[in-house]
């Protein structure tokens, strides 16, 4: 056990890392899964936030975003059924771990306010894996879950984040 803790400490703190402190602006898109798969064809989203570097490995921050799910339209003979679009406003705390200069993982967790009629929102979580494409640009893969009263919004996402570095991190 002692060797495992020592190895983990070296992995987390021994590498030269690249924390991403600053204002962040991101876009994402993806496919709904599970309960909303038949009602929503795809979604787009945007996030804004700020991350503070707690050291060289860990970033902590806050984010706010917008998710818009485009409703499916069903045609059955001469009857057309238009379902409502699904919209959320996520408000979350964020944490990122940087085990290397170009790779991070973390989670956004908080609440998602429902914007469209009949949508009260719920518990929001979004685990994220990120890969740096340049000094301020990150490509990420994520999974979004929003636990509603009766159902759960889930989606597989692909996104890009741009970081505007803070004066302190330059």
The string of pLDDT tens digits covering residues 151-164 is 999 999 999 999 99
CA distances for 91 relative to 3, 83, 123, 166, 169, angstroms: 39, 26, 10, 22, 25
Q: Is residue 127 part of a domain?
A: yes
Burial call 66-98: b when 16+ CB within 10 Å, e when fewer? ebbbebbeeeeeeeeeebeebbbebbbebbbeb
The answer to whether position 170 is within a domain reads no
Model confidence pLDDT, tens digit, residues 98-151: 999 899 999 999 999 999 988 999 999 999 999 999 989 999 999 999 999 999
Give the CATH number, domain containing residue 134: 2.40.160.20
| Residue 87 falls inside a structural domain | yes
Domain that holds residue 161: 2-165
User: Would residue 129 count as lying in a domain?
Assistant: yes
**Which residues are CB-neighbours of 28 under 8 A, at least 6 positions away?**
44, 45, 46, 47, 140, 142, 157, 158, 159, 160
- What's the pTM? 0.82
10 pLDDT band (50/70/90 cuts)?
very low
Q: Is 116 helix (H, G, I), strand (E, B) or coil?
A: coil
Domains in the chain, number: 1
């Amino acid at each position: 056990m002692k060797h495992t803790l020592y190895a983990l400490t070296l992995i987390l703190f021994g590498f030269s890392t690249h924390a991403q402190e600053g204002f962040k602006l991101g876009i994402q898109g993806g496919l709904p899964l599970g309960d909303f798969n038949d009602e929503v064809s795809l979604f787009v989203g945007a996030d804004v936030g700020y991350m503070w570097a707690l050291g060289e490995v860990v970033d902590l921050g806050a984010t706010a975003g917008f998710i818009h799910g485009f409703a499916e339209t069903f045609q059955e003979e001469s009857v057309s059924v238009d379902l409502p679009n699904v919209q959320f406003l996520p408000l979350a705390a964020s944490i990122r771990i940087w085990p290397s200069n170009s790779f991070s993982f973390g989670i956004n967790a908080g609440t998602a306010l429902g914007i469209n009629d009949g949508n009260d929102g719920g518990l929001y979580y979004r685990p994220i894996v990120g890969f740096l494409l340049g000094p301020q640009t990150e490509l990420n893969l994520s999974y979004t879950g929003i636990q509603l009263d009766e159902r759960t919004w889930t989606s597989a996402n692909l996104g890009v984040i741009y970081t505007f570095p803070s004066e302190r991190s330059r």
